[in-house]
Structure formats: C-alpha cells, structure tokens
C-alpha cells in the first residue's frame, strides 16, 4: 500500500506540473519561406532550448506558465528575439522567419570560438563574406572578394592567382595566416602555404568565409598567429536544389560548375559539386639571368586549368547531432610564384577525406589529406640548366631532357661535369589530423575543452626537400576556453589556454584573455593573445633550385666561423582594443587598434652567405655544404632566419552606412607600421654587423583605403568598389619590387628601379588605385546573369612581386538555380 501511495503521489505531482505548464511549437524559415534546419530556439532565463528539425519544426515542452523572451538564431542570419506568453495546459505557436544578415550587428558567426555566437560578442576583429556576397559576384575567382575587407592585404598575381595577408610581413611564400575549410586545414603539407586554387571546394557550395584578424592560436593551434581565414560550406538541408553555371571572360577564361543537394529524409542528406576553370595568364616575362644575360623562361606555358569535385553525406543519429562524411579532389595546372623564380605547376592534385561528428556539446573530427605531383618544375632553375648545356655544345633535345635534373659545369675547353641541380618538384606528401572537443554552459559560465593531433608526412622523393625516405613530424595540442557573461551588466570575460607540443620544439603555452562590455548598441573589447609560428618542413628541410635555397633546420657555419643558429619557434604577443556598434539607425562602425610584439620572427628568404667578402657557407649543421648539395661552394645560399624583436602596430576602421534597405556605402581604412630594434644584432639579416631598416621587409603598405557602393533591389544587384594601396617596397628571396634606394648609406644605390637587381628585374614598387565593379540581373526566380570587371579603368597597377600589371578582367556568368527545398515546402 505504501508503494502504491507513493506512485499515486508521483503521478499526481506530474499531473499538477503539466497543468501548470505549457509548450511552444512552431516552424522557423528563411525570409523566402524555406524551412531552416538546425536553427536554435532558446529561453535564456530558463537555460532551455532546442534546434529545429529538417522541416524547420521545433517543440519546447514543460515550460512553466509565464512570459519569456525567446531568441532564435542561425549562423549567417540576424538573431531575432520575441516575447511569448505561456498558458498552462496549452501549446503556444511561434512561427517566424530569419532575415539573412547583411553587415547587421546581431549576425551569428561560428569560427571565433568554434560555436555559434553573435558577432558583437566575439572578442576579435571579424570580417564576413556571406553567401549572398558570393552569389552576387559573377566571377569564378571569389578570392577577389577579400579585397573588400578591412585590415586585409589583398594581392593579385595574375588572372588566376589571388592571395591575402593580415597585418604585415608578406612574401611570395606567405604562411602568416592559417586557412581552414569545414574544420580542416587548407594548406599544403610541406610548405604550410594556403591551398588557394588547389582547394577542393567550389564557389556555389560556399556558405560564408569568416576572416579573423590577429592571433587565434588558442583554439586553432600554431600558425594562426597573424590571422585565420575560415571557409564554411553549405549544409544540404538548408540548400536543397541544383545549380548550373557557365562563365566566360577575357584571357580565354571559361568556367563551368554544377552542384546538387538534397535531404532524402529526416536522417539522410547529401550534396555533390563539380567545377572546371581554364584560361590564359597575362603575357609577362620573368627573366632568368645567367650572369648579366637574360633568358626567357624555358617552355613557359601561360594556360591554366583547374578541375575539382567533391561529395558529402550527412546523417542525423538524433535530432541534435550529425555525422558528416566528405571526399574532395582537385587537379591544377598553372604558374606559381615563389621566392626564387616561378614554378610551372603540372597536374598537382589534392585529395581530402573527412569524417566529422557534431552535437550540442561534443565535436569530433578526423581527416586525411594527400598531395601529389610528378611533373611540376622550377622554370628559373630549369632554364639555367638548359643554358648550361646549350652553351657547352649539347644538342637541343639533350639539353631539354637533362635540364630537369642537371646543370653542366665546364672545367676547361670541352671538359666539364654534370652536377645535380634539380628543377623538378615531386610531391607525395600526406597529412593526418584529428580533433575532439567538448563544450557546455551553466547559466552564465561557458566552457570549451579540446585536443588536436597532427601528423605531417612529407615526401618530395628527394627533389625539393632534404629527404631520402620522407619526413614525418607530429604535434599535439590541448586547449580550454572559459567564458563568463553577465548579460544584465553587459560585461563578458574570456580566458583561453593551449599547450602545444611539437616533435622538434617541445611544449609551448598559448594564452588568450579578453574583456567585453556592451554599451547601448555596441560592444567594446580589450584582448590579449599569444600566437606561435612553427617552422614548416620547407623552412627546415628545403633543398630548392640546386641548393640555392637550403632549409635552416640545423644552422649554418660560414667561412669566418660565424654560426647561424637553426630556426626556432616564432612568438607574437598581441594587444588589441576595439569597438563594433551602431552609431545611428543607418551607420555601423567596426574599429580596432593593435600592438604586436614578435620574437624570433621567421624571415622570408634571405641570403645567409656573404660571397662578396668571401664569407661562404661551409657547413649545414655539421655536414660540409658539398655533401648536402653536390658541387656547391656555398657562395650563394638563401634560407630562413629568426630575427630578434620586432614591434608592429596599426588600426583598422570599417564603416557601413545604409541609405536604404537596398543601398549602402562601405568605407575601410587601415594603417600599419613597425619598429625594428637596430641595436639587436639578431635583426642583422645579411650578417654584415649592422642592422638596417631594410633588413626585415614588412612587404605591406602603410596605408590602405577603399570605398564601396552596394545596391540590391528587385531583380537587380550591383556594386562598385574603389581601392587605394599606398606604394610600397616588396622583397622576397631573389624577387625585388622597390624604388631606387641606398640601403646602407654608402652613397651607392643597391636597388635601382627598372633595372636588373641581383638575379631578377626590378619593375618598381607595388600598389596604386583600382576600381572594380559587378552587377547582375535575376531574369526569373531560377535564371540569373551577371558581369564582373576587375580594374575597370585599366590602371597600370602591379600588385605582387614577379607578376604582371593587372589589366582589365571581365567575367560574364549565366546561372540556373532550382530550389528543391522551397518546392518541397510549397507542396507540403
């Protein structure tokens, strides 16, 4: 009887609770009426929430009677908050649509803290390129959109080649910012360089690109020390349908793309994509000098071609979790710029396989990357090799064949020896990555815990690395991030820490601290972050162009006994203050100022030998230079060094003014400066006993300014964008783009504009003013056409070293889109 009484009491208690509580049900959609799967519906006062299913439906049960503020959010959309009154015993309906964000302050992003978060809550400077920006940019090369972001140094090296740099120290081999795609590294394995056109992702599958300025190493690990570029692709449940696009442009550009995505049921969804682009690079001569005589690059092929495809399968084990499998492939033929001449890239392929699990509190990710090429070669070195055979009486056929691997060194009339001066780049490298993360919150306290593992397996088959059986390096990182948010007062506090262990460099601690304060319609932030840059395998074990470039993994000894230390980890301590907010109904501002302190700065390629004074490299580590590179006398060696202490500083201002919902103007301005300690001989880049400002080139303009006008109404959209980059010098390896100058004050101009400088031709400084424009028209709901023009007025502007003047580029695109999800919603 006692047990029966307890059971009846329990049933009665539940019944009374049910009578005093109610529920909320509804559907969350986009503005077009398309259901949003995975949108968050949250009652903060109860710390209770849920996510919508693949039809955009949700239900929240057992909510005590009363009035509550319900927040609905989704990545890329503006968060909306609605007040709902719950009536006991009844279901309250909440159907609402989210508006895609367009520089609105309550936009939700995901990259900064690896979870959805309002952009104003992020203690960092963030730029967002949205899917709308991408859809309204009718060019196959969406890298151009980076030129429209504040604080970003955008460069263009040709029709195909685009790149970005963040806060200084660019080079032809720039790995100063980390790039990721769907939580996987988008970098080459041995060099750490961004994949760029090698990416396996196609334009129509990109949902957004989030660019974070400043250190982000706590959550993302080494080499996110200057910034982070994160590309996020579309979930098939929110992007069902088919897209077919054709594009044409001058320079013989042609592109074709196809994408299809579909949700089979509430458990399974899939997508696949394909893209092929081709064209011809600008006609440009990067002369190869043998002594003072210039030669054209041998067998220069200006045609470029890129093909890529991929497929994903999404499976939902439960309402709030998802398992995602992905495979992608790309194959590329084009010209690549390096610090020691240009490369003719031949059939370089990238393959990626990924398996990822995502749930409310747990995240697990593992992926494998393959890189392969057999026929890529360095044009500069191959041309020199070819000339050495031709000038010593060899036939054209034999000179061409042997130019890939050998150079002829004459010992006397009719006598000589062939030495290994390989121009071929072979690559059979692989990388394995894994990560697990847990996150949760208790009222105002949020915690994130995670661990990452990476194994790089570089294999150049003895061509561009000092490797015989490949080079394996692993690194492991564990991290935590703690946040405390006081919504009533507007204060927020963040502390993050990461312990990273590298096989060669041991353990490094990477902290991050931030304080935010909401004031009216904006948020102030004060942050401190540390970042580290671990030398790449190329930095450590490179062997390029017949020993012209030698990695500095062991240090060097010079003729006079000078010891050049081996590379160490670079560190950067960054302090930033910023504000993002709404100054009026129509004016939005995002401003920041920063100060960076760098130690052991990893230089671009510099000359470590002093041949003019007979001070050659004699040993690499403890090994004679002639044993490392056959026949080398060490008279001209380029490598990477650690500089001492370098301070950099600057500020960025971004303004958006909305004349109306359909018309806005954007203004961006950035300033960058640096201080080099001239009393620190660790900053003596050319080892001559004195430190000059020119020894560590920042390769970045001091001032950048841009103005854009954006219009979107009805079926028409368009933008015009003017960009000014102050003229600046650029030094990277043998490449020089600089004004005439006396670098050491001896009265002699070591650098002369429009003349040969060392082993290259100096065309002068980079930078200038250009205007870009794009426009489009939606002929029907499915069919659209667009036109994009780069350098509208054909200004004579050179944007990158060893690159042509960027002439006017026009691109026309015709696109058909069938929205399957919207059709399903209409039928239902």
Tell me if 141 sits within 8 A of 134, measured CB to CB: no
**Taking the mean position of all CA atoms in its chain, how far away is CA 581?**
26
Residues 285 and 427 in one domain: yes
DSSP, collapsed to helix, strand or coil, labels residue 13 as: helix
Work out the average pLDDT over 181-191: 91
Of the candidates 153, 159, 143, 140, the one whose C-alpha atom is nearest the C-alpha of residue 804 is 159
Residues 472 and 344 in one domain: yes
Residues 300 and 384 in one domain: yes
List, as one string, the DSSP characters of 733-787: TTEEE---B-SSSSSS-SB-TTEEETTEEE---EEEEEEEEEEEEESSSSEEEEE
pLDDT for 351 equals: 98
Residues 384 and 257 in one domain: yes
- Residue that terminates a domain, selected from 74, 100, 126: 100
**Residue 816 within any structural domain of the chain:** no
Of the candidates 159, 402, 107, the one whose C-alpha atom is nearest the C-alpha of residue 280 is 159
**Residue 380 within any structural domain of the chain:** yes
Evaluate if residue 74 carries a pLDDT over 50: yes
**Residue 770 within any structural domain of the chain:** no
Residues 327 and 398 in one domain: yes
**Residue 270 within any structural domain of the chain:** yes
Residues 132 and 24 in one domain: no
**Residue 817 within any structural domain of the chain:** no
- Most confident region among 121-125, 210-214, 284-288 by mean pLDDT: 284-288
DSSP, collapsed to helix, strand or coil, labels residue 246 as: strand
Distance CA 596, CA 571 (A): 10
Which CATH number is 46's domain given?
Answer: 2.60.40.1120
Bridge partner residues of 364 (DSSP): 357, 436
Residues 344 and 431 in one domain: yes
pLDDT for 422 equals: 86
Work out the average pLDDT over 296-322: 93
- Residue that terminates a domain, selected from 71, 100, 129: 100
Work out the average pLDDT over 281-299: 91
User: In this structure, what is the dihedral angle of CA atoms 458, 460, 462, 467, given to the nearest 10 degrees?
Assistant: -10
The whole-chain average pLDDT of the chain stands at 86
Residues 44 and 129 in one domain: no
CA torsion sign, 211 to 214 to 218 to 222?
Answer: positive
Work out the average pLDDT over 656-674: 91
Number of domains composing the chain: 2
Length of the chain: 828
Distance CA 621, CA 643 (A): 19
pLDDT above 70 coverage of the chain, percent: 91
Distance CA 177, CA 628 (A): 31
Q: Which domain holds residue 63?
A: 18-100
Tens digit of each residue's pLDDT (9 = 90 or more) over 778-802: 999 899 999 999 999 999 999 999 9
CA distances from 471 to 374, 429, 460, 577 (A): 18, 9, 9, 42
Which CATH number is 311's domain given?
Answer: 2.40.170.20
Distance CA 750, CA 287 (A): 19
Pair of tokens at residue 673: 């400066």
DSSP, collapsed to helix, strand or coil, labels residue 226 as: coil
Residues 89 and 128 in one domain: no
Compute φ and ψ for 767, nearest 5 degrees: 105, 175
Of the candidates 261, 270, 267, the one whose C-alpha atom is nearest the C-alpha of residue 319 is 267
**Residue 344 within any structural domain of the chain:** yes
**Residue 541 within any structural domain of the chain:** no
Evaluate if residue 735 carries a pLDDT over 60: yes
- Residue that terminates a domain, selected from 73, 100, 127: 100
**Residue 758 within any structural domain of the chain:** no
Evaluate if residue 43 carries a pLDDT over 70: yes
Tens digit of each residue's pLDDT (9 = 90 or more) over 12-31: 544 444 567 888 888 888 77
Residues 51 and 177 in one domain: no
Tens digit of each residue's pLDDT (9 = 90 or more) over 364-408: 999 999 999 999 999 999 999 999 999 999 999 999 999 999 999
Residues 288 and 384 in one domain: yes
Tens digit of each residue's pLDDT (9 = 90 or more) over 436-484: 999 888 888 889 999 999 999 999 998 889 887 789 999 999 999 999 9
586 or 45, which is more confident: 586
Residues 63 and 195 in one domain: no
pLDDT above 90 coverage of the chain, percent: 46
């Amino acid at each position: 009887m006692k047990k029966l009484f307890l059971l009846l009491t329990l049933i009665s208690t539940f019944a009374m609770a049910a009578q005093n509580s109610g529920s909320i049900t509804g559907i969350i959609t986009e503005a077009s009426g398309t259901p949003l799967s995975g949108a968050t519906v949250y009652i903060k006062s109860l710390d209770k929430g849920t996510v919508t299913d693949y039809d955009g439906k949700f239900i929240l049960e057992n909510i005590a009677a009363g009035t509550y503020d319900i927040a609905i959010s989704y990545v890329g959309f503006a968060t909306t908050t609605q007040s709902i009154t719950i009536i006991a015993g009844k279901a309250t309906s909440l159907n609402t649509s989210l508006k895609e964000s367009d520089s609105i302050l309550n936009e939700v992003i995901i990259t900064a803290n690896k979870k959805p978060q309002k952009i104003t809550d992020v203690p960092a400077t963030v730029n967002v390129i949205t899917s709308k920006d991408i859809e309204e940019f009718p060019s196959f090369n969406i890298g151009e959109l980076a030129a429209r972001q504040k604080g970003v140094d955008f460069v263009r090296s040709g029709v195909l080649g685009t790149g970005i740099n963040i806060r200084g120290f660019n080079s032809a081999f720039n790995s100063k910012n980390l790039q990721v795609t769907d939580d996987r590294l988008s970098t080459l394995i041995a060099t750490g360089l961004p994949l760029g056109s090698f990416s396996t992702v196609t334009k129509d599958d990109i949902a957004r690109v989030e660019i974070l300025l400043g250190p982000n190493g706590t959550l993302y690990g080494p080499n996110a020390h200057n910034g982070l570029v994160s590309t996020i692709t579309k979930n098939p449940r929110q992007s069902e349908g088919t897209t077919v696009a054709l594009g044409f442009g001058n320079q013989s550009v042609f592109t074709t793309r196809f994408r299809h995505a579909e949700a089979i049921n509430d458990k399974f969804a899939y997508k696949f994509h394909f893209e092929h682009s081709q064209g011809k690079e600008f006609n440009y001569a990067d002369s190869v000098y043998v002594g003072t005589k210039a030669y054209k690059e041998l067998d220069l092929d200006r045609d470029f071609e890129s093909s890529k495809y991929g497929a994903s399968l999404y499976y939902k084990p439960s309402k709030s979790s998802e398992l995602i499998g992905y495979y992608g492939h790309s194959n590329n033929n084009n010209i690549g710029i390096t610090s020691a001449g240009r490369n003719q890239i031949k059939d370089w392929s990238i393959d990626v396989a990924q398996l990822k699990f995502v749930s409310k509190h747990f995240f697990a990710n593992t992926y494998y990357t393959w890189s392969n090429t057999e026929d890529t070669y360095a044009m500069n070195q191959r041309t020199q090799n070819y000339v050495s055979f031709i000038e010593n009486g060899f036939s054209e056929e034999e000179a061409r064949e042997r130019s890939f691997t050998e150079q002829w060194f004459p010992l006397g009339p009719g006598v000589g020896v062939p030495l290994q001066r390989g121009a071929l780049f072979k690559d059979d490298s692989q990388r394995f990555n894994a990560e697990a993360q847990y996150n949760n919150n208790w009222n105002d306290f949020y915690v994130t815990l995670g661990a990452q593992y990476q194994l790089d397996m570089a294999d150049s088959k003895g061509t561009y690395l000092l490797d015989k059986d490949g080079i394996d390096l692993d690194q492991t990182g564990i991290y935590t991030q703690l946040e405390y948010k006081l919504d009533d007062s507007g204060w927020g506090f963040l502390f993050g820490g990461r312990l990273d262990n590298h096989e060669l460099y041991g353990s490094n601690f990477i902290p991050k601290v931030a304080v935010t304060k909401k004031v009216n319609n904006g948020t102030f932030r004060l942050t401190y972050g540390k970042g580290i840059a671990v030398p790449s395998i190329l930095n450590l074990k490179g062997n390029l162009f017949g020993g012209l470039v030698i990695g500095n993994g062991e240090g060097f000894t010079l003729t006079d006994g000078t010891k050049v230390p081996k590379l160490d980890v670079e560190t950067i301590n960054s302090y930033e203050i910023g504000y993002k907010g709404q100054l009026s109904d129509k004016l939005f501002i995002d401003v920041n100022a920063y100060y960076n302190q760098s130690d052991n700065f990893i230089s671009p390629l510099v000359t470590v030998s002093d041949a003019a004074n007979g001070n050659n490299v004699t040993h690499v580590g403890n090994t004679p230079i002639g044993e490392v590179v056959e026949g080398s006398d060490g008279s001209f060696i380029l490598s990477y060094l650690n500089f001492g202490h370098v301070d950099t500083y600057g500020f960025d201002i971004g303004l958006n003014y909305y004349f109306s919902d359909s018309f806005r103007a954007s203004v961006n301005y950035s300033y960058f400066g640096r201080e080099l300690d001239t009393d620190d001989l660790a900053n003596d880049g050319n080892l001559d006993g004195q430190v000059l400002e020119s020894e560590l080139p920042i390769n970045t303009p001091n001032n950048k300014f841009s103005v854009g006008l954006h219009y979107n109404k009805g079926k028409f959209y368009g933008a015009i964008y003017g960009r000014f980059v102050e003229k600046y010098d650029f030094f990277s390896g043998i490449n020089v783009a600089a004004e005439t100058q006396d670098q050491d004050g001896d009265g002699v101009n070591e650098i002369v504009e429009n003349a040969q400088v060392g082993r290259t031709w100096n065309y002068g400084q980079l930078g200038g003013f250009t205007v870009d424009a794009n426009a489009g028209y939606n002929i029907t709901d499915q069919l659209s056409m667009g036109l994009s023009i780069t350098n509208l007025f054909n200004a004579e502007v050179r944007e990158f070293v060893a690159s042509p003047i960027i002439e006017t580029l026009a691109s026309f695109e015709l696109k058909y889109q069938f929205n399957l999800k919207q059709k399903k919603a209409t039928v239902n």
